[in-house]
Amino acid sequence: MQNRLNKELQDLTQTSPLHGVQITADANNRLLWTAVVAGPEGTAYQGGKFKLTITFPENYPFKAPQFIFTTKIFHPNITEKGEFCEDMIETKEQWQPTKTVKQVLEKILNILGQVNTEQALNPKAMELYKSDKGKFEEAVRQETQKFAQ
């Protein structure tokens, strides 16, 4: 497992980093990484820096890591606690040992740029998104300025 984690970390930090994502491994806990995700350009999240913890199980890659935003984020598909729908980021039944952290981070970036109206995890955000997208985007910008700078 440690070789796999080292290889993925090297890929994300040196070989082929994702645009707008910075990864660091916890020096004291090999099973904990932190990602800082830049809000995608052209979205209401643009300009924000959102911290995400990635916690690996002991039996990784046979079991999926857990991804949780620790920076407050107002999004219909992310709970107020920063949790994702595991089906949306494919870390539940769809998880396969061949999947990588990078693939999940790409899905997370896509979620920030595109709301799935079938997966409401934050009912208040979803209701505002469906009723008035302009007000939703303004609320996102305000939350981003307040919490994600």
Closest CA to 143 of 59, 55, 75: 75
Residue 91 has which token pair? 């870390």
User: Residue 87 — pLDDT band, cuts 50, 70, 90?
Assistant: confident
Cross-strand bridge partners of residue 24: 34
DSSP result, 31-76: TEEEEEEEPPTTSTTTT-EEEEEEE--TTTTTSPPEEEE-S---BT
Q: Is-catalytic flag, 85?
A: yes
Spot the catalytic one: 32, 68, 85, 139.
Answer: 85
- CA dist list (Å): 73 to 15, 55, 141: 29, 19, 10
User: Residue 88 — pLDDT band, cuts 50, 70, 90?
Assistant: confident
DSSP code, position 13: I
* pTM of the full structure: 0.92
Question: pLDDT tens for residues 7-64?
Answer: 999 999 999 999 999 999 999 999 999 999 999 999 999 999 999 999 999 999 999 9
